[in-house]
Structure formats: C-alpha cells, structure tokens
Structure 1
Amino acid sequence: MAARSRFPQALTRVATRWARDLLAVRSAFAALVMATLASLVAGLILASITGTLEELPGLLLLVPAAIAVKGNIFGALGSRLGTAIHAGIFRLSRRRDSVMAQNAVASVALSLALGVVLAIMAKGAALAFNISPTMSLSDFVVISALGCLIAAFVVLAITLATTAGAVRFGWDLDNVVAPMVTVAGDVITLPSLVVAAELAGFDILTPSMAWVLGVLAALSVAWGLRSRLL
C-alpha cells in the first residue's frame, strides 16, 4: 500500500519536472529563432548604410567593437538580474538602492565610457595601419560615444522587458536573455551609430560635443568606482 501511495507522488514530480524542462526548451528555442531572424535584419541594415560608410571613412572600424560592447555589457546585466531572480532579491523598482537600478545605471555608465575608449582605439588603429583618409578624433568620439549611449538605453529597455517577462511568465532567463540581448545589440547599435553620425563633421559643434562626452565619460567612471558600481 505504501508503494502504491508513493507512485502517484513520484509521477507528479516527474510530470512537473518535464513541464518545467519543456517550458525552458520552448522559450530558448523561440529566443534563438528570433535572434536568427533579427541577425538577418542586422545584416540588411549594414548593407543599407554603405553610403554612410563611404562618407565617413573609418566608421566601419567602430561597428564590430560597438556591437560586441553592447553584447558584453548587457549580457552581463541579464546574467546578474537572473542571479538576483534566483536569489529572490529582484524587484522591479525605481529606488536607487535596488538591484535593478544599480545595475542599469552601471551598464549605461560603462556604455558611455567604453564608447569614448572605442573611439580613441579606432582612431589609433586607423593611424597605425595608415588608413587614409579617415575621420578626426572628434568625429570618432561623437559617433562612438553618442551611438553607444543611444543604443544603451534601447537595449537596456529590452533587457529589463525580457527580465520582467521572465518573472511574469516563468521563462528561464539564462536561456532567453543571452540570444535576445546579443541580437538586440546587433540590430540597435548600427542605426544608433548612423544617427550619431549626423552630428559629425561640424567645425564647432562636433569638437564641443566630443569634449562634453569625454568629460561625462570620465565623471561616470569616477562616480561608478567611488560608489563601487563598476
């Protein structure tokens, strides 16, 4: 009798585990399919901006690095939020001391700072490999930093929406956020760089914006280190 009474319980546990695993597989498969389709869109976007790449020599140097930065920063953000969910400390809150707010601010600050760093590295690579003609350092800084900043806010919104969906619908965030955030970085970063490129090439405006963005990047890094968010 005892063995018979334990059998339904064991069957229920197996069914529950199977349903949970099936949900994880379905959510991961859907995320990968969406990532594949969106990657195609990213390729089409890159093909459509060949004119801009010709007008701004050296811009292509920024594209792979800027895309990679978005994936690295916000992929790590998704992983930290996933850990917070598993630990039971994640809350959708605007409070400055909340896990979500602190990680979101740190991600945006890193995006701005690394945008300036990428601009300097791209200009240095252009000089090292004698790529001529090429944009000025001010153009690189404005396009890279401003483009990374625009993309950061959009990808941040996607990351937080994905996290909220994981909490609401029981998705496995570890299987969903990586492909979604990566492809979001691919699709969003390219148009963001093109939009920022509209502010390049001006005699007074571009250098002024480059200085402002550089100072903001330095201040964000100093603030992040002081507050131990970076």
Structure 2
Amino acid sequence: MSVRGEFWSIYREALPILLIALAGGLFAGIVLEGMVEELERFTGLFVMIPVFLATRGNVYGALGGRIASGLHQGLIPPRFERNDRLVNAVIASFVNGIGISIVIGVITWLALLVLGWEDPAALYELVGIMLIAGLLTSVVMIVGLLALIFAGFRYGYDPDNLVGPIVTTLGDIFGMLFMLFAVTLVGVLV
C-alpha cells in the first residue's frame, strides 16, 4: 500500500471514532458543569478532576496498547476468553487504576494543606470519592475497551487507531459520571 493509501486508511478508520470522542468530551463537560455545587462542597475536588481523567487515559491507554500488540502478534484472540496475557494485563491495569486513584486523593489533600487552602475537604472524603470513582471507572474502562477493540479488530480495523479515542471517550464520559456519583454518595454518607 502506498503512503497516501495508508494515510487515507488510517483517516477513514479514525475519523468516526474521533467524532464520537468529540461528542463524549462535550457530554463530560456538561456533567462537569452540573457538578459545580458539589465542587464547592468538597474543596479540592476540582483540582483532582483533570488528574483523575488524565490517569484514566494513561493506565488504560497502556492496556489498550498491550491488547493491540497482542492482537497484531496473534497472542491474544479478539474475544473474551481465558488468556494469561490478557488476564495479566487486565489485572495490572485494574490495580494501577485503583491505586493511582487513592494516590490522587492523598496527594491532592496534602497539596491543599501545603498551599494553605482554607477548609479543604477531609482526607477520607477525597480518598473515598477517588476510590469509588476509580473502581467504577476501571470496570467500565476494561470491559468497554476490550469489547470495542475486539469488535473493531474482527471488522478489520487497526486497534492502534482505536485505542486512543476509545480510552479518551470512555474515560471522560464515565470518569465524570462516576465522579458525580461518588461525590453524591460520599455527600450522603458524610
């Protein structure tokens, strides 16, 4: 295939998912707009949101890259079945996703104290919000990412063209929805 043909192939495969990613980003922004009151209630929460969303992309982008490489090499079949490589990659990303969520809550709380913010949310509130949102987002990211990459691969799409937009879209949409859910739940429990 010529360089020009390869360019158009990548463009054709990536454009629809990028448009879906655009819509997903707009939806996440609308959810964020609806969280303004909650953001004011838990001082420091707004600081955590960009970090939380970025780490979803980092952790699950790495998972998507591993899966894409495994699909290309024939080491991972494009379906949900017991495969040691797939299981190990999923477990590692799940542990990383949950662990980094807790770290985000702790570091944010410490940073707010060091910077002298008045009346930051309690450590257990920030960590609780991050833990709940991180846990729920991790489950959806793993299942959604695998399902979409496997389906795309079976239909002839290059998974490398799909991973970035899928991770971004799922992370933004479900990250914000589960963040709102976690804030509401912690607000009720506290």
Q: Aligned partner of 2:12: which letter?
A: R
Q: Which residue of 2 aligns with 1:170?
A: 156
Alpha-carbon separation, structure 1, partners of 2:14 and 2:185:
39
1:126 partnered with 2:112 = yes
Larger relative CO (CA 8 A, sep 6+): 1 or 2? 2
Alpha-carbon separation, structure 2, partners of 1:175 and 1:201:
40
SS at match of 2:186: coil
How far 1:201 sits from its partner (Å)? 5.3
SS at match of 2:62: helix
1:186 partnered with 2:161 = no
Q: Which residue of 2 aligns with 1:29?
A: 15
Q: Which has the larger radius of gyration?
A: 1
SS at match of 1:200: helix
Q: Aligned partner of 1:150: which letter?
A: L
1:75 partnered with 2:75 = no
How far 1:68 sits from its partner (Å)? 0.5
Contact map agreement 1:93 1:100 (CA 8 A) in 2: no
Q: Which residue of 2 aligns with 1:59?
A: 45
Alpha-carbon separation, structure 2, partners of 1:161 and 1:117:
28
**Cα RMSD over matched residues?**
2.0
Aligned length: 188
Alpha-carbon separation, structure 2, partners of 1:24 and 1:81:
19
Q: Which residue of 2 aligns with 1:109?
A: 95
How far 1:166 sits from its partner (Å)? 2.4
- Structure 1 window deviating more from structure 2 (162-171 vs 79-88): it is 162-171
Q: Say which of 131, 136, 142 aligns to 1:150.
A: 136
Please list every run of 5 or more consecutive structure 1 residues that lacks an aligned counterpart in the other structure. Answer: 1-12, 207-230
Please list every run of 5 or more consecutive structure 2 residues that lacks an aligned counterpart in the other structure. Answer: none
How far 1:101 sits from its partner (Å)? 1.6
